[in-house]
């Protein structure tokens, strides 16, 4: 495969990984919220925690994604295997 195909497959895989991590962290945080936090709250304020669980899942997925990306970039020579998504105007050759 060439660099462009590697880049496209990496972006697709990274997006799927990020969505899966977000869903898994949302379910885990929702279970934690339902088992340990809801019994401590009054009945009328329990649904207010759902947006916090959602935001928490996004934060957790962001942190996990960043750590996974750093680990991946240490292990793989990115310049060798992937094509840059954006090029600066200075690096474009004019022939």
pLDDT of residue 95: 47
Contact 65, 17 (CB under 8 A): yes
- List the Cα angle 32/45/54 in 5-degree steps: 45
Nearest to 64 by CA among 56, 53, 54: 56
> What's the average pLDDT block by block, 10 residues per block, for the chain (95 residues)?
84 95 96 86 81 95 96 87 73 55
Q: What is the DSSP string of 18-77?
A: HHHHHHHHHHHHHHHIIIIIGGGS-TTTGGGGHHHHHHHHHHHHHHHHHHHHHHHHHHS-
């Amino acid at each position: 495969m060439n660099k462009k195909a590697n880049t496209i497959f990496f972006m697709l895989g990274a997006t799927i990984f990020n969505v899966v991590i977000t869903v898994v962290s949302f379910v885990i945080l929702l279970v934690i919220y339902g088992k340990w936090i809801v019994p401590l709250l009054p009945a009328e304020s329990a649904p207010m925690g759902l947006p916090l669980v959602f935001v928490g899942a996004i934060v957790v997925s962001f942190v996990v994604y960043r750590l996974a990306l750093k680990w991946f970039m240490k292990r793989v020579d990115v310049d060798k295997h992937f094509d840059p998504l954006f090029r600066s105007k200075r690096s474009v050759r004019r022939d």
